[in-house]
């Protein structure tokens, strides 16, 4: 049982033997992420005081307007991971292509690649709503000593060795897994240290919350519409409560603590869904499953999908196991 209130550094050292590959590189990589997260947290908390709110003036590869904080967070994580010379490649939702990192001797000897959404929900910054960072870590599949290729990034989610998110809210938390359960650490801003505040986080099997943007109801598949009606029915255990923040990290974090389901389905406006498989769905699915929940695209396990492109999109259903299974029952009535 993890010791509550121990620091993230102490936790990493004590649990290093649980990592699939305990050479120390993965530990250093997690340490780099926590450092970058502190920098981003500092900037996010200055929103409104300095000129970091609003559009940057460009669009990213997704065709979405980049926020100033998107750019800042992206550059911060890339710079921190690159300077530490721990990873051999980085892929970000904000970049068109992956970044190759050669190492100090141009030897390409590092073993890990990182995929990330540097600032999920950044459109909420202007209205002071919680946002987050999502990250995913894989071991490279190409030979050590050679530059990374797209193959290193296009791995199914079940090959992840670690994943996590940072939520910048009323308190700042780093929640992550290395395949041995999920633990949450809260930042003490006065000391600059992360402390274990939420050991062994688990989803309740069933909850009372459903999180979906019901404003798009008319565009949803019939299976999703039927499930929403099920959630709203007057029954002994229902209706459920509708709670949707519009920042996936915040919605899923709340549902993991209180019990619930998060849904971002495909629609007539976005036939393949809107969320990115590699940067959002896979890492969150890995965390959700490690916390005893379930994640799918409505028909199949998210972590078993073989990615075909860096910015591939996917429908996403995740949360309390029985709630996701019930949603899948409704989806199965309209098999693809």
121 is in an annotated binding site: yes
* 331/281 Cα distance (integer angstroms): 19
Q: Where are the beta strands (DSSP E) in 155-286?
A: 162-168, 172-177, 183-188, 193-198, 209-211, 241-242, 260-264
Annotated binding-site residue? 225: no
Dump strand ranges (E) for the chain: 55-59, 65-67, 87-92, 99-100, 112-120, 131-139, 162-168, 172-177, 183-188, 193-198, 209-211, 241-242, 260-264, 294-296, 316-319
122 is in an annotated binding site: yes
- CB 302, CB 285: distance < 8 Å: yes
Instruction: State the Cα–Cα distance between residues 97 and 233, nearest whole angstrom.
Output: 46
**Residue at token pair 């970091």:** 52
To the question of whether residue 325 is assigned a binding role by annotation, the answer is no
State the Cα–Cα distance between residues 242 and 239, nearest whole angstrom.
9
- The reply to whether 93 sits in an annotated binding site is yes
- Which helix (H) or strand (E) covers residue 15, if one does? none
**CA atoms within 13 A of residue 53's CA, in its CB half-sphere:** 12
Could you tell me whether strands 241-242 and 209-211 are parallel, antiparallel, or unpaired per DSSP bridges? Answer: parallel
- In terms of Cβ atoms closer than 10 Å to its own Cβ (0-12, 13-18, 19+), residue 48 is exposed
223 assigned binding-site residue: no
Does the annotation flag 126 for ligand binding? no
Q: In angstroms, rounded to a whole number, what is the distance separating the alpha carbons of residues 209 and 211?
A: 7
Residues annotated in the binding site, as ranges? 93, 117, 119-123, 213, 244, 274, 280
Residues annotated in the binding site for substrate, as ranges? 120-123, 213, 244, 274
Residues annotated in the binding site for Mg(2+), as ranges? 93, 117, 119-120, 280
């Amino acid at each position: 049982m993890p010791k509550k209130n121990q620091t993230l550094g102490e936790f990493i050292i004590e649990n290093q033997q649980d990592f699939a590959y305990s050479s120390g590189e993965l530990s250093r990589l997690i340490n780099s992420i926590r450092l970058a997260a502190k920098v981003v947290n500092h900037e996010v908390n200055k929103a409104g005081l300095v000129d970091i709110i609003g559009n940057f003036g460009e669009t990213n590869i997704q065709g979405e307007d980049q926020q100033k904080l998107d750019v800042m967070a992206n550059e911060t994580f890339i710079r921190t991971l690159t300077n530490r010379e721990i990873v051999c490649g980085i892929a970000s939702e904000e970049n068109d292509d992956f970044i190759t990192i050669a190492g100090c001797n141009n030897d390409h000897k590092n073993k890990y690649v990182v995929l990330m959404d540097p600032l999920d929900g950044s459109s909420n910054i202007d209205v002071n709503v919680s946002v987050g960072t999502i990250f995913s870590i894989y071991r490279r599949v190409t030979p050590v000593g050679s530059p990374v290729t797209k193959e290193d990034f296009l791995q199914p989610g079940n090959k992840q060795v670690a994943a996590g998110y940072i939520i910048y809210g009323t308190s700042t938390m780093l929640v992550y897994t290395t395949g041995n359960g999920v633990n949450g650490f809260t930042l003490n801003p006065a000391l600059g240290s992360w402390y274990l505040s939420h050991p062994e986080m688990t989803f309740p099997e069933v909850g009372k919350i459903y999180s979906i943007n019901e404003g798009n109801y008319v565009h949803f598949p019939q299976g999703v519409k039927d499930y929403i009606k099920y959630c709203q029915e007057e029954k002994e255990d229902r209706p459920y409560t509708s709670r949707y923040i519009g920042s996936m990290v915040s919605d899923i974090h709340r549902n993991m603590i209180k019990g619930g389901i998060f849904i971002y389905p495909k629609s007539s406006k976005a036939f393949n869904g809107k969320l990115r498989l590699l940067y959002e769905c896979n890492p969150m699915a890995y965390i959700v499953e490690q916390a005893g929940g379930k994640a799918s695209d409505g028909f199949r396990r998210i972590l078993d999908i073989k990615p075909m492109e860096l910015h591939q999109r996917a429908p996403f259903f995740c949360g309390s196991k029985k709630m996701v299974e019930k949603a899948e029952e409704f989806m199965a009535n309209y098999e693809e």
